[in-house]
């Protein structure tokens, strides 16, 4: 993993998969050093390459994350309907390409069925317990979501409550929450 990853600040992203629904949520805070630059950034995006519904949340450098989102879209077009393969191919490129290797971001991505964390070290992780979290407040949000997963039925509510708790603890996370959800079609 990048040696700088421990110094990344600026957001919390959480993804929760439960009962046929997946939500990814992120706060809106952007910081530069110890200064809040913006409080209303949208770090959770919906993509629809080839009609496939994908949600991506990113932590780290915004410009780097958008470069990765574009590359993920291209991979999804190359491997239509196959998020797993697209994520693996993106992670392989990210790890081996000299330009991509310097990008400082992490992604949480879902197609409504699978939930992955994609990192610059070439990892594509499918988290245990159907909860994925990254960013400066990721561990706080992860712990909070795990604590309420069994008692809360809505993935959106789990994300919202977990981010609220993370925002109370992590100075790089605020309460401007963006949530995107995919529900299994019946």
Q: Cα-atom radius of gyration of the chain, to the nearest Å?
A: 15
Distances (CA, A) of 6 to 126, 156, 178: 21, 28, 24
**Residue 11 annotated in active site:** yes
- Find the Cα–Cα–Cα–Cα dihedral 138, 139, 142, 143, rounded to 10°: -150
Contact 31, 186 (CB under 8 A): no
Q: What is the DSSP string of 124-137?
A: EE--GGGEEEEETT
Which amino acids are annotated catalytic?
11
């Amino acid at each position: 993993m990048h040696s700088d990853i421990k110094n990344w600040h600026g957001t919390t992203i959480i993804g929760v998969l439960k009962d046929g629904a997946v939500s990814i949520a992120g706060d809106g805070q952007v910081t530069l050093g110890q200064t809040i630059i913006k409080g209303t950034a949208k770090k959770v995006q919906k993509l629809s390459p080839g009609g496939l519904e994908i949600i991506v949340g990113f932590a780290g450098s915004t410009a780097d994350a958008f470069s990765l989102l574009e590359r993920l879209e291209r991979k999804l077009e190359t491997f239509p309907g196959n998020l797993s393969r697209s994520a693996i191919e993106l992670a392989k490129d990210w790890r081996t390409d000299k330009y991509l290797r310097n990008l400082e971001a992490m992604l949480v991505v879902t197609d409504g069925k699978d939930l992955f964390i994609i990192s610059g070290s070439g990892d594509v992780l499918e988290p245990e317990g159907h909860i994925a979290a990254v960013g400066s407040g990721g561990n706080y949000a992860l712990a909070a979501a795990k604590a309420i997963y069994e008692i809360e039925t809505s993935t959106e509510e789990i994300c919202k409550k977990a981010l609220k708790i993370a925002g109370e603890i992590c100075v790089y996370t605020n309460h401007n929450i963006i949530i995107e959800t995919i529900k299994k079609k019946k």
